[in-house]
């Protein structure tokens, strides 16, 4: 299968598997990409990672397994406009045999400033029972190797965030 090799799984660099240009119809009334389309681009990047580890479309078509997202978090740092090319870099931040945390950072073209980040909890599911199930051994091995390699990189600043107003009391600005 394309991309799913032990050689690429050993590389500590984040995976750079997805690029996509902002479409005019993705702009909102503020003239920049609407939040829903950031999530769409991150979803396309998730699909690329799933294909890379052989848990994507081809896997789903030949088995009774699939991957569901059970939690997601997105941060927005900078606007994107029609025609901007978005580059996504992806990492596996953790893996336990049935679940993994997939983390993406979005960049404009070849720039180095993160414009948005996305962290998702992915769960492997047996579609016949609609219950969690162990990830097949070959894909589990790839995820485990990626997780170990990506653990050698500095932890992303935006990973593990929660929404909070901090120490502010309700009703105060």
Per-residue pLDDT of 104-149, as tens digits, reads: 999 999 999 999 999 999 999 999 999 999 999 999 999 999 999 9
Number of domains in the chain: 1
Establish if 113 belongs to a structural domain: yes
How large is the average pLDDT for residues 151-166? Answer: 89
**Cβ-count burial 38-54 (b if 16+ within 10 Å, e if not):** beebbbebbbbbbbbbb
CATH of the domain at 110: 3.10.129.10
pLDDT for 172 beyond 70: no
Q: What is the pLDDT of residue 162?
A: 86
Both tokens of 153, joined, read: 């990189």
Q: How big is the CA angle at 159 (ends 153 and 162), to the nearest 5 degrees? A: 165
Establish if 169 belongs to a structural domain: no
Q: Flag whether the pTM goes above 0.75.
A: yes
Establish if 129 belongs to a structural domain: yes
Q: What is the pLDDT of residue 164?
A: 82
Name the pairing type of β-strands 114-126 and 99-108: antiparallel
- Where residue 8 falls (left for φ over 0; alpha for ψ -120 to 50; beta otherwise) is alpha
Establish if 168 belongs to a structural domain: no
Q: What is the pLDDT of residue 171?
A: 61
* Closest C-alpha to 114, from 156, 160, 84: 156
Establish if 130 belongs to a structural domain: yes
Quick check: helix, strand or coil at residue 58? helix
**Of residues 3 and 23, which shows the higher confidence score?**
23
Alpha-carbon span 127 to 123, nearest angstrom: 12
Q: What is the pLDDT of residue 2?
A: 43
Side-chain-side CA neighbours of 129 within 13 Å: the count stands at: 7
Establish if 162 belongs to a structural domain: no
Quick check: helix, strand or coil at residue 35? helix
Establish if 5 belongs to a structural domain: no
Chain centroid to CA 79: 19
Average pLDDT, the chain: 92
Which domain does 68 fall in, by range?
Answer: 16-151
Establish if 166 belongs to a structural domain: no
Residue 169 — pLDDT band, cuts 50, 70, 90? low
Alpha-carbon span 87 to 59, nearest angstrom: 25
In percent, the amount of the chain with pLDDT more than 70 equals 89
């Amino acid at each position: 299968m394309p991309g799913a090799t032990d050689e690429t799984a050993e590389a500590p660099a984040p995976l750079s598997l997805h690029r996509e240009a902002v479409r005019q119809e993705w702009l909102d009334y503020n003239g920049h990409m609407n939040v829903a389309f950031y999530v769409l681009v991150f979803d396309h990047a998730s699909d690329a990672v799933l294909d890379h580890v052989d848990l994507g479309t081809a896997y789903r078509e030949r088995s009774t397994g699939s991957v569901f997202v059970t939690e997601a978090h997105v941060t927005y740092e900078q606007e994107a406009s029609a025609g901007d090319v978005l580059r996504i870099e992806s990492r596996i931040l953790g893996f336990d045999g049935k679940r993994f945390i997939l983390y993406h950072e979005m960049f404009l073209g070849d720039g180095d400033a993160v414009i948005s980040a996305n962290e998702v909890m992915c769960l492997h599911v047996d579609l016949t029972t609609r219950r969690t199930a162990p990830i097949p051994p070959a894909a589990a091995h790839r995820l485990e190797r990626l997780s170990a390699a990506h653990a050698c990189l500095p932890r992303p600043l935006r990973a593990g965030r929660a929404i909070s107003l901090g120490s502010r009391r309700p009703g105060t600005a």
